[in-house]
């Protein structure tokens, strides 16, 4: 991921003097607006650019723009994102706006530049790989489908052929704006990458907020894979450890698929992108692990299984 330098400037507003915040009344609700206009200087190797901003001490409650495509022409990317924020005025809040910044960060997905290999010295001996991969997580068996008929279920465990797939999962949370004139939107949930290891990020979620889970499947073109439909997306095996107790029985939640389609990508002409999206609310599981504040240092795991139909 691309991460820009933090904008470490203090909040400035027209008409405010050194007595900034003195006009605020303790206990009242102060509403202010943050507008993100443009991002410039983004390298062409990065795609799906979005800006994320938050108070310095609240990384778990960040606001985000919608991701933008990067055409690589060097022109500024126009977010034109408006976010209204309502805060109860406290002494700590007044002190914050006097002395602390709002943190703005820019993220994007790295795309391998087509000239990368040409820039390498082919005469030099190959260097040993320095990539360190994390130990693999214990694999959970697929969550059983609930809508497939009994004639299809016996064949679910049979392997006819194998393909290499890259699957990306994103959770977006519902953002209800203070200003009702602003359209309802879903923003990406925060992912904690404290460990620094690939594929080991942790979603930071609030219980009871409706979300959309987006799954993107990527594979090389020319294969025999032609996706026809998403039959079902199910969630289950809620647990607080990576290991799965196969004997445990918990509720299976079948999600409502709201879209499924192929994507056109300008970044990679030799790959196929198929994306589907479903509605998810953690409170629907009626799980004690999800209906409470997760203790510090503990993680909640769940298994997401998708059943797709391919064309003959």
Rounded mean pLDDT, 290-303:
85
Q: Note whether residue 56 is domain-resident.
A: yes
Q: How confident is the model at residue 230 (pLDDT cuts 50, 70, 90)?
A: very high
190 and 268 in one domain? Answer: yes
| pLDDT > 90 in the chain, percent | 8
Q: For residue 237, give its domain range.
A: 161-310
Q: Note whether residue 139 is domain-resident.
A: no
286 and 193 in one domain? Answer: yes
- Over residues 28-68, the pLDDT tens digits come to 988 889 999 999 888 888 888 889 888 887 766 788 888 88
Q: Residue 260 to residues 59, 125, 295: CA-CA distances in angstroms?
A: 32, 46, 36
pLDDT of residue 203 exceeding 50: yes
Region label for 224, one of left (φ > 0), alpha (ψ between -120 and 50) or beta (otherwise): alpha
Q: Note whether residue 289 is domain-resident.
A: yes
Cα-Cα end-to-end distance for the chain? 37
The helix or strand, by DSSP H or E, that contains position 55, with its residue range, turns out to be strand 46-55
Q: Note whether residue 201 is domain-resident.
A: yes
- Over residues 247-269, the pLDDT tens digits come to 777 788 999 999 999 887 655 56
Tell me the whole-structure pTM to 2 decimals.
Answer: 0.53
Residue finishing a domain among 78, 110, 142: 110
Q: How confident is the model at residue 112 (pLDDT cuts 50, 70, 90)?
A: low
Beta bridge partners of 211: 173, 280
104 and 197 in one domain? Answer: no
Q: Which of 232, 227, 250, 211 is nearest to 306 (CA)?
A: 232
Q: Note whether residue 247 is domain-resident.
A: yes
232 and 105 in one domain? Answer: no
CATH of the domain at 83: 2.60.40
CA-to-CA distance for 141 and 302, rounded, in angstroms? 11
186 and 51 in one domain? Answer: no
291 and 165 in one domain? Answer: yes
Residue finishing a domain among 79, 110, 141: 110
Q: Are the C-beta atoms of residues 46 and 2 closer than 8 Å to each other?
A: yes
Burial label for 51, CB within 10 Å (0-12, 13-18, 19+), is buried
75 and 13 in one domain? Answer: yes
Task: Number of helices (H) and strands (E) in the chain: give both, helices first.
Answer: 1, 16
105 and 171 in one domain? Answer: no
208 and 83 in one domain? Answer: no
Give the full edge-to-edge strand order of the sheet including 63-64.
2-3, 102-110, 46-55, 63-64
Rounded mean pLDDT, 234-244:
87
Q: Note whether residue 116 is domain-resident.
A: no
Residue pointed to by tokens 């809620």 = 238
167 and 304 in one domain? Answer: yes
Neighbours of 189 (CB within 10 A): 20
Q: Note whether residue 121 is domain-resident.
A: no
- Over residues 267-283, the pLDDT tens digits come to 556 788 899 999 888 88
Q: Are the C-beta atoms of residues 173 and 213 closer than 8 Å to each other?
A: no
Q: Note whether residue 115 is domain-resident.
A: no
296 and 185 in one domain? Answer: yes
Residue pointed to by tokens 């994306």 = 275
Residue finishing a domain among 83, 110, 137: 110
297 and 227 in one domain? Answer: yes
Q: Which of 243, 235, 244 is nearest to 286 (CA)?
A: 235
Based on the structure, what is the number of domains in the chain?
2
């Amino acid at each position: 991921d691309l991460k820009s330098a933090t904008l470490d400037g203090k909040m400035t507003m027209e008409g405010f003097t050194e007595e900034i915040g003195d006009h605020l009344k303790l206990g009242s609700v102060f509403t202010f607006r943050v507008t993100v206009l443009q991002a410039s200087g983004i390298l062409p190797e990065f795609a799906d650019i979005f800006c994320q901003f938050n108070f310095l001490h609240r990384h778990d409650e960040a606001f985000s723009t919608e991701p933008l495509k990067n055409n690589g022409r060097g022109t500024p990317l126009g977010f034109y994102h408006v976010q209204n924020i309502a805060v109860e005025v406290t002494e700590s809040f007044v002190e914050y706006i006097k002395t602390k910044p709002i943190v703005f960060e820019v993220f994007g997905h790295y795309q391998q530049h087509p000239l990368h290999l040409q820039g390498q010295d082919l005469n030099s001996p190959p260097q040993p790989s320095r990539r360190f991969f994390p130990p693999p997580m214990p694999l959970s068996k697929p969550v059983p489908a609930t809508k497939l008929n009994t004639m299809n279920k016996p064949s679910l465990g049979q392997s006819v052929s194998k393909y290499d797939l890259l699957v990306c999962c994103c959770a977006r949370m519902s953002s209800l704006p203070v200003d009702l004139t602003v359209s309802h939107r879903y923003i990406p949930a925060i992912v904690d990458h404290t460990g620094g290891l690939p594929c080991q990020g942790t979603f930071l979620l609030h219980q009871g907020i409706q979300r959309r889970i987006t799954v993107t499947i990527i594979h090389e073109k020319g294969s025999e894979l032609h996706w026809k439909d998403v039959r079902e997306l199910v969630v289950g095996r809620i647990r607080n450890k990576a290991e799965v107790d196969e004997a445990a029985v918990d509720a299976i939640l079948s999600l409502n698929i709201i879209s499924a389609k192929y994507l056109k990508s300008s970044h990679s002409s030799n790959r196929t992108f198929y994306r589907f999206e479903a509605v998810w609310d953690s409170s629907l599981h009626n799980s004690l692990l999800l209906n409470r504040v997760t203790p510090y240092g503990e993680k909640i795991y769940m298994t997401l299984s998708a059943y797709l139909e391919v064309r003959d």
